[in-house]
Amino acid sequence: MDGTFTITPMTGDGWHTIYVGNARGASDYMEVTNAYLHKFEIVTSGTAAMNLQASGGAGYVDLAWAQDSFDLLAGYNVYRATTLGGTYSRINTNLIPDQTKTYRDTDIQANLSYYYKFTVVKTDMAESDPSNVASAAATATTPTVSTTAVTSISTNSSQSGGNITATGGAAIASRGVCWSTSQNPTTADDKTTNGTGTGSFESSITGLSPGTTYHVRAYATNSTGTGYGSDVSFVTTSYASTLYVSSNGYCGDKTPCYTSIQEAINAATTGSTILIAEGTYAESITLNESKSLTLQGGWDSSFATQTSNTTFIKAPRAPQGSLTLQMVTIKP
């Protein structure tokens, strides 16, 4: 019988063979005896069943995949190339757990297409063939930067810096610190310029005024904009050998005048005396620098005469340096 027949084979992976009895070739009517002429393979697993998708975001490419080829597996590896036919290199440092089917790639440049594949790592640590290729490009965002602590504070200078942990997907064009007497300074204020690139850097802050509170932030700029670290405040030391503290901020004609004993301690140079207006002070006082200071309490509002003791609710601490207390009562 000549004609076309539809055959529904059994499902499942593997080779299937159809035997046709008393068949004859269409051209010469010879009997077809080679069964392998009717052998075919069904494949439901492998790369066809491993699907990878990629999508770009601000400074990253997100990957997500699915696979139903392997029930028992150790995990996954992700590979990346910069061209479709280029060399693919593994980008995950550690094996991605088998229950995790996503990966975020941040070690990339913005507006460039990257090409990705993933493999299944079997329980014997052998890798499967790679999946399909998925491609995406990250958009740029501002860099991620942190501000380091301020050190080496003097009457007119200090040291700070920052650490850039992410470029935002675009090259760092400039970095440094900016400062002001107001909170959250920007690059429109005084600033340093400390090269380019990621990682940590140090900055020298100069041209400051004695006994003044400053705010500093690290910054990093790329083609998208400028990212800032957190605001860190500090007080420059004072030339004055005598400093004044009044909780209401009024010290008569005496300067420098502080509302906080701790602020005065931070600003004072070694050997200074801090005169404190009468009253009760509940703040925690700590000297963490190698300097010797005298805290002298009981002064009237104009700091003309000592009238009575000043009371501290909490005893001052001096892990470094020394504090001498005069006319001060510590409440038991």
Instruction: Say whether 136 sits in a helix, a strand or coil.
Output: strand
Give the model's pLDDT for residue 110. Answer: 84
Both tokens assigned to 308? 């009575």
How far apart are the two ends of the chain, measured CA to CA in Å?
A: 113
Give the model's pLDDT for residue 24. Answer: 56
Residues with pLDDT less than 50, the chain: 10-13, 35-36, 41-47
CA distances from 131 to 4, 79, 314 (A): 36, 10, 66
**Cβ distance 256 to 240 under 8 Å?**
yes
* Domain pair 49-137 / 144-235, same fold: yes
What burial letters (b/e) apply to 304-314, b meaning 16+ CB within 10 Å? Answer: eebeeebbbee
Give the model's pLDDT for residue 193. Answer: 98
- Boundaries of every domain in the chain: 1-44, 49-137, 144-235, 242-330
The whole-angstrom separation of Cα 83 and Cα 133 is 11
Q: For 6-53, what is each residue's pLDDT tens digit?
A: 555 544 445 555 555 555 555 555 555 554 455 554 444 444 578 999
The whole-angstrom separation of Cα 330 and Cα 129 is 75
The whole-angstrom separation of Cα 211 and Cα 206 is 14
Q: For 156-201, what is each residue's pLDDT tens digit?
A: 999 999 999 988 878 999 999 999 999 999 999 999 999 999 999 9
The whole-angstrom separation of Cα 184 and Cα 323 is 33
**Cβ distance 312 to 298 under 8 Å?**
no
Provide φ and ψ at 265, rounded to 5°.
-60, -40
Instruction: Say whether 306 sits in a helix, a strand or coil.
Output: strand
For 49-137, the fitting CATH number among 2.60.40.10, 3.40.350.10, 3.30.9.10, 3.40.190.10 is 2.60.40.10
The whole-angstrom separation of Cα 145 and Cα 160 is 13
Give the model's pLDDT for residue 17. Answer: 59
Q: How far is CA 153 from the centre of its chain?
A: 27
Give the model's pLDDT for residue 323. Answer: 95
The per-residue DSSP string of 101-134 comes to -EEEE-SS-TT-EEEEEEEEEETTSPBPPP---E
Identity of the amino acid at 165? T
Provide φ and ψ at 119, rounded to 5°.
-125, 155
Give the model's pLDDT for residue 44. Answer: 44
Q: What is the CATH number of domain 144-235?
A: 2.60.40.10
Give the model's pLDDT for residue 299. Answer: 95
Give the model's pLDDT for residue 2. Answer: 56
Give the model's pLDDT for residue 18. Answer: 58
